[in-house]
Amino acid sequence: MSQRYAVIGNPIKHSKSPLIHTLFAQETAQDMVYDRIEAALDGFAASVQQLQAIGAAGANVTVPFKEQAFALADWLTERARLAGAVNTLKFTEMGVEGDNTDGVGLVTDISQNLGFELAHKRILLMGAGGAARGVILPLLAAQPSFLVIANRSPQRAHELKQQFQPYGIVEASDYAQLSGMQFDLIINATSASLADQLPPLPLGIFSPKSLAYDMMYGKGETPFLSFARSQGATHCADGLGMLVEQAAAAFYFWRQVRPDTAPVITALRAAA
Ligand code: NDP
């Protein structure tokens, strides 16, 4: 019998995860079905229980339930524990295991799909919400020269600096303090692009040959990517590759099978 999976979120109807996992399953000849579930805002745990009751093997979790999934899991991978959020659940006879594949998805997209070497680079991460928190450990593991976290509410950036300092060279900042600095990679992990806004980055912040990466996808060229291009960033990327790569890491976590992501990214871009 096909093994069942689903993505749980609210809202969920625009989620691309069912399409991505269906394409992965076809490509790797895995016998599985993948649904979408819109849980009531106070109904996340009940949705997980229902999935377990029908014998599902796992789930993806998206906004706004990643912290609840973290709390619900019986045990966590190291990267999920440090992220404080879970986007992938595996249901086993012993209980529920929680993982966070967002960070590895971002790093795989940047280093493998975009061919951008992270080691010895100066990285700026904008934002201190769930998406930012999830990518710090994998970014530091790639051995950059340093990582600066900038946030509109600087206190949140300082808290992340405290938490992740044991894992690499990490600094915290507000936007004004960035004046005069240059970065090789700037990642927009804020939700500003959702509102067509641009975090207040100073001019001259992109080094030659820099990469501007907006985690947002599906909105065309965001204000951040337009700004980056006007400031001389050589490479600009949206978050579609990260989305597909985090899904591939979840697929591997469940099934120990690694799908080829390139045709799926191409298919999603063609459908956009
Ligand atoms: P959160 O709501 O947890 O965090 C939002 C962050 O954005 C906070 O740091 C907030 O600052 C900052 N922010 C919001 N508006 C502005 C603004 N106008 N100027 C400057 N900073 C601002 O969101 P998430 O971390 O969950 O998600 C962030 C983005 O990442 C979303 O666009 C989401 O779609 C994307 N994402 C993409 C993924 C992918 O696979 N491609 C995966 C996960 C997320 P403050 O603390 O001051 O409020």
Give 91-112 pLDDT, tens digit per residue. Answer: 999 999 999 999 999 999 999 9
d(CA 2, CA 112): 32
26 versus 130: the higher-pLDDT residue is 26
Question: Options 3.40.50.1970, 3.40.35.10, 1.10.1760.20, 3.40.50.720; which CATH number does 103-108+115-238 get?
Answer: 3.40.50.720
Q: How many CB atoms lie within 10 A of CB 112?
A: 13
Task: Specify the pLDDT at position 159.
Answer: 97
Sign of CA dihedral 54, 89, 5, 64: positive
Arithmetic mean of pLDDT, 248-253: 98
With a cut of 90, say whether residue 219 has pLDDT above it. Answer: no
Is the CB of 127 within 6 Å of ligand 1?
A: yes
Q: How many residues does the chain have?
A: 272
Give 229-239 pLDDT, tens digit per residue. Answer: 999 999 999 99
With a cut of 90, say whether residue 176 has pLDDT above it. Answer: yes
Q: Which fold has domain 3-100+241-271?
A: Rossmann fold (3.40.50)
- Ligand 1 centroid vs 131 CA: distance in angstroms? 7
With a cut of 90, say whether residue 1 has pLDDT above it. Answer: no
Give 46-85 pLDDT, tens digit per residue. Answer: 999 999 999 999 999 999 999 999 999 999 999 999 999 9
With a cut of 90, say whether residue 160 has pLDDT above it. Answer: yes
Q: How confident is the model at residue 255 (pLDDT cuts 50, 70, 90)?
A: very high
Rounded to two decimals, the pTM is 0.96
Give 121-148 pLDDT, tens digit per residue. Answer: 999 999 998 899 999 999 999 999 999 9
Task: Specify the pLDDT at position 152.
Answer: 97
Is the CB of 62 within 6 Å of ligand 1?
A: no
What residue segments make up the domains of the chain, in order of their start? 3-100+241-271, 103-108+115-238
Arithmetic mean of pLDDT, 143-167: 97
d(CA 83, CA 62): 14
> What is the pairing mode between strands 88-92 and 58-61?
antiparallel
Q: How confident is the model at residue 257 (pLDDT cuts 50, 70, 90)?
A: very high
Percent of the chain's residues with pLDDT above 70: 100
- Ligand 1 centroid vs 127 CA: distance in angstroms? 6
- Ligand 1 centroid vs 132 CA: distance in angstroms? 8
- Best of 20, 102, 190 to mutate for ligand 1, by most ligand atoms within 8 A of CB? 190
- Best of 191, 224, 243, 244 to mutate for ligand 1, by most ligand atoms within 8 A of CB? 191
d(CA 133, CA 95): 25
66: annotated active-site residue: yes
Token code pair at residue 141 = 């593991």
3-state SS string for the chain: CCEEEEEEECCCCCCCHHHHHHHHHHHHCCCEEEEEEECCCCCHHHHHHHHHHCCCCEEEECCCCHHHHHHHCCEECHHHHHHCCCCEEEEECCEEEEECCHHHHHHHHHHHHCCCCCCCCEEEEECCCHHHHHHHHHHHHCCCCEEEEECCCHHHHHHHHHHHHHHCCEEEECCHHHCCCCEEEEEECCCHHHHCCCCCCCCCCEEEEEEEEECCCCCCCCHHHHHHHHCCCCEEECCHHHHHHHHHHHHHHHHCCCCCCHHHHHHHHHHC
With a cut of 90, say whether residue 256 has pLDDT above it. Answer: yes
Q: Please indicate whether the domains covering 3-100+241-271 and 103-108+115-238 agree at the CATH topology level.
A: yes
Q: How confident is the model at residue 203 (pLDDT cuts 50, 70, 90)?
A: very high
